[in-house]
Structure 1
Amino acid sequence: MRLLVFLTLLLFPSFVFSQDFRFPKLPEYASGYEKIAPKNWNVIDTVYGDLNKDNNADMAVVLEYDSFISENRAYGHNDIELITEYQKPRILAVYLRDKLSQKLHLVVQNNSFVLRAKEGGIMGDPFRRIEIDDNTLILAFEGGNEWRWKLNYTFKYQNKDLILTNANSIYYNVISGEMTDHIYDFLDRKLTLVSGNIFSRNIKNKVDEETLIFGHPRKLSEFKKPWTWEILNNNFL
C-alpha cells in the first residue's frame, strides 16, 4: 500500500504538469543560439550556413525540453492514430540573418517534426544530424531494431518558408539484408523505388520509378512527425 501511494505521488505531479505544458514561442530576433532557449529548454544541436543565397550565415537549431511530459505523437494519420508517450519535447527553429543588421530573424518554428529521443528503438536517439549545405537544410534520422530505418529530408528556402525538395526513406533487415529504398524528388515529382538486398546494392536490386502526385509543395512549417504524410497509397514519409 505504501508503495502504491508513493508511486501515485510520483506520477500525479507529472500528469498535472503535462496537462499544462505549452510549447513556447521562440524569440523573433536573436544574435546567436545562446540567447534563444527559453527557460527549461536546452539547445542540443546548432548549424550555420547560407540558406537564402545572400552569402550570410543563417542558423538552424534543435532544442529539447529538460523534463519528461506526456506527449501525443502521431503514427500514421495525423488526427486519429495518436500514441501518448512520456518523453522530452523538441523544437526545430530556423533563423535567417539580416544582411544589414546581422541579426537573426525567426522564419520557421516546428514543434512536431524532430523525432524524440525515445523514438529510435534499440538504437537509441534517432536524431542523427542537422546540416546546412549548398543552400539546403538537411535532417537525418535513424533507428529500429532488427528491422532498421533511415530518413533523410532536404529543404530549400522559397517564398519565405523552407520547402521539401528531396527525401530518402530506407527500410532494411540487419540480418537478411532485405531492403526497400524510397528516393523522393519533389521538384521533378518522381519516386524511385529500389528493392532487393542492402548488401548487394547497385548490383542485383530492382529499380522502379513512379510519378509523385501531390498538391502544393510541403512546407517545413506545416510538417508533422515523420511517417504521417501519405504521399501515395500506403506510402508514408
Structure 2
Amino acid sequence: MKLAFALASSFLTSAACAQQLQYPAIKSKAQQRTGFVPPGWEILDGATGDLNKDGLADEVLVLERSARKGTTDLELPRMLVVLFKLPGNQGYVLNAQSNSFISTHDDPETDEPLAGISITRGVMKIDFQYIRRNSHDDLSTSAYKFRYDGRHFVLIGADISITGRMSFTFRQYSYNFLTRKGVLTTGNLGGEDDQTLTRTLALPVPKTLDTFATPGTWTLAENFIL
C-alpha cells in the first residue's frame, strides 16, 4: 500500500495548501465560460456536456493561477468550477465550485497529477495519476465519477489501479456507490489467474463534491484510502 499512501499524501498536501490560500471570487453568471476566469488565472483543463438533463451543453473547468514571471512555482492553486448553460443567449451560471478537489502539481519529480476530465451521459469523471519519473515507485491511477441529483454532485463511483513496477503485479479497486458494491481484483501482469473479491460497502450517507472535498481523505477499508 506504499503507493496508495503516497498518492493520499499528495492530495493532502494540496488540500493543506488550499486551506492556506485566499481564492478569488467566481462570478455567479457570465455570457462566456472565460467570464468565470478571475484575473491572474487561466483554464488548465475542462469538459463540455449535459450535466442536468436539460439538453444544453454545460461546462466543467479546472482553473489554475497563472505562473508569476521569472518563477518556477509548482504549487499553483487550482479550482474546479461547474457551469450550467442557460437557454437562449443567457450564457452560463455557476453551479458548483471546489478549491481542494483538484491536486496541484507540487512535485517536480512526478508527472502532472490531473489526467483529464470528461462528461459522458451526464456523469462528470475526474482522472488522476501518480507517476514518479526515474523511480521504482508503483504507478497509480484513480477516477471519480459524480452525477447531479438536482441539488448536489453525488459521488456514484470510483476506480483505483496500482501497478508494481518491480513486482509486476496489479491491484484494482472498483466501487459502485449506487449498488454499494466494491470489487477488488489482484494478479500478475500478463497472468491468467486473477483473483476477485466482492464486498458490500457501508455507506450511511452518500458523498458529494461538497462533502468529499479532497481525494485521499476517505477510509473505505482497512489500510486503504479513497
Q: Same fold (TM over 0.5)?
A: yes
- Structure 1 residue 41 corresponds to structure 2 residue 50: no
C-alpha RMSD of matched pairs (Å):
2.3
Quickly say closer, same or farther: Cα 1:24–1:199, change in 2 above 3 A.
farther
Alpha-carbon offset, residue 101 of structure 1? 5.2
For 1:91-102, list aligned pairs within 5 A. 91-100=79-88, 102=90
Residue 198 (structure 2) aligns with: 209
- Structure 1 residue 198 corresponds to structure 2 residue 208: no
- Structure 2 counterpart of 1:33, one-letter code: R
**Separation in 2 of the partners of 1:88 and 1:110?**
15
Equivalent of residue 154 in structure 2, options 163, 174, 184: 163
Partners of 1:148 and 1:174 within 8 A in 2? yes
Per-residue Cα deviation, 1:180-218 (whole angstroms, up to 9, x for no partner): 111000000000000112333xx3111001111022111
Unaligned runs of 5+ in 2: 1-17
Residue 4 (structure 2) aligns with: none
Partners of 2:44 and 2:62 within 8 A in 1? yes
Q: Normalising by structure 2, what TM-score?
A: 0.81
**Separation in 2 of the partners of 1:95 and 1:206?**
42
Residue 113 (structure 2) aligns with: 126
What SS does the corresponding residue of 1:155 show, helix, strand or coil? strand
Alpha-carbon offset, residue 176 of structure 1? 2.6
Q: Which has the higher strand share?
A: 1
Residue 6 (structure 2) aligns with: none
- Structure 2 counterpart of 1:49, one-letter code: G
Partners of 2:52 and 2:150 within 8 A in 1? no
For 1:12-27, list aligned pairs within 5 A. 21-27=21-27
Residue 117 (structure 1) aligns with: 105
Residue 137 (structure 1) aligns with: 124
- Structure 1 residue 236 corresponds to structure 2 residue 225: yes
**Separation in 2 of the partners of 1:224 and 1:199?**
36
Per-residue Cα deviation, 1:84-112 (whole angstroms, up to 9, x for no partner): x9711110000111235542111110000
Alpha-carbon offset, residue 118 of structure 1? 2.5
Unaligned runs of 5+ in 1: 1-17, 69-84
What SS does the corresponding residue of 1:99 show, helix, strand or coil? coil
4+ residue runs over 6 A deviation:
none
Residue 8 (structure 2) aligns with: none
What SS does the corresponding residue of 1:130 show, helix, strand or coil? strand
| Higher RCO (C-alpha under 8 Å, 6+ residues apart) | 2
